[in-house]
Amino acid sequence: MKQTQEVIIADAFSKVNEFYSKHGRTPVRREMENINTIARRYFGTWNNFICAAGFKPNVNKTKIEVEAELFALLKDFYSQKGRIPMRREFSAKSSSITKYFGSWNKFIVAAGFEANERRIPSIGKLKNSLVKFYIKQGRSPNISDCTRKNGLYNPLSYYRHFKVNCWADVLEHVKLPSYFRITTMTVAEAKEKVIKLIKKHRIKYYKDYNRLKPENYPSVWYLKEKFGWNNLCYLAGTKTPVTKFSIKDYYLSLAKELGRTPTTKELEAKMGVTSGAMVWKTGQRLNHFIQSFGQQPAHKAPERCKLSKKQLAELYKSKSIEHGYPQGMPRSKLEALTGYSRDIYEYRFFSMNGLRLFCGFELLQSGNKRYTEEELRDILKKPLYAKRN
């Protein structure tokens, strides 16, 4: 039995009264979402519902009232503890303090107290920490070395105080060598010399390059960002990585060697990887990738037949009669005369006999599994998604 409107409202009022007697205050809307739906339906707003229940709704306080409450809390804390509170001790009011004062220290100053000094290192301490690390370790620190056990500070402290945007600038600011930048070579010279070095020592991995490279050569980080490590190894002849660069290069060289468009199988044999690996590395279908650099693939997926079942049968019937096949053209002529393969016809009509029956031609008696006319008619009546034996 459905409840009447009066019963629903009375039940909602009783729940509000129960909340007030338990907590000593009027509930906030988010605390009673199930009642909020009833309140909006019958009273328009939550505050109208609270007024109808005989309570005073919660009203947003003014800026002056909020500031006065915050100042009172701060003074109470100071009188009890004899010190200014830390920000984490007022975490419950942090959003209000940020909203009305902008920051914690501005709030402390506005209350008439002197703010605590910010616990941040000086520029001199920041520079000394980097130099001490260099003397002790014999190398410039990385960002990953910025931990307390190494005597270093947070990387953001260096960026903020040195007014720079990257770690290489931090090291150069204190005149330490940077691993992340080329200072003696142009980009073209770096690429040429690195390829020669990789080719000379048959380098394949980062660690071997770091061990064998001269002092003024670029870092692995720089090479990966600028050129790609696998691409450099491929140009030097030490690796055959499956990348967009190598797939394109192999495809074009194979096409030039064969004098025609290579097939997917030929490309797989040349590279020694499957087409699935190429798709995974390039992130797109192999034919789409081949078309992206101006080549046409050897084989394409057949175009989808947009004709209806009746139109396809009429096309088959008309082309058969036109080309001298009064009882239907043979299977070998389907694609040449109609433009559609045997697979398309058999998908629509189950078999070639199904197509011939639909067009009114005689059924073929050859085949591994024969069906009578009645069986074929029953099959053709079923929808495409029905299971066929």
pLDDT in tens, 233-253: 888 888 777 878 888 888 888
Q: Is residue 387 pLDDT above 80, yes or no?
A: no
Contact 383, 389 (CB under 8 A): no
pTM for the whole thing?
0.34
Provide the pLDDT for residue 197. Answer: 92
d(CA 389, CA 379): 10
Cα–Cα distance measured from residue 378 to residue 383, given in angstroms and rounded to the nearest whole number: 11
Residue 169 · residue 162 · CB < 8 Å: yes
How many CB atoms within 10 Å of residue 200?
Answer: 10
Whether the CB-CB separation of 204 and 167 falls below 8 Å is answered with no
| Residue 198 pLDDT grade (very low, low, confident, very high; cuts 50, 70, 90) | very high
Q: Which residues contact 98 (CB under 8 A, 6 or more apart)?
A: none
Mean pLDDT of 133-148: 87
Question: Distance (Å, rounded) from C-alpha 153 to C-alpha 148?
Answer: 7
Distance, CA of 246 to CA of 242 (rounded, Å): 6
pLDDT at 201 over 50: yes
What per-residue confidence (pLDDT) applies to 181?
Answer: 62
Give the three-state DSSP class for 200.
Answer: helix
Q: How confident is the model at residue 195 (pLDDT cuts 50, 70, 90)?
A: very high
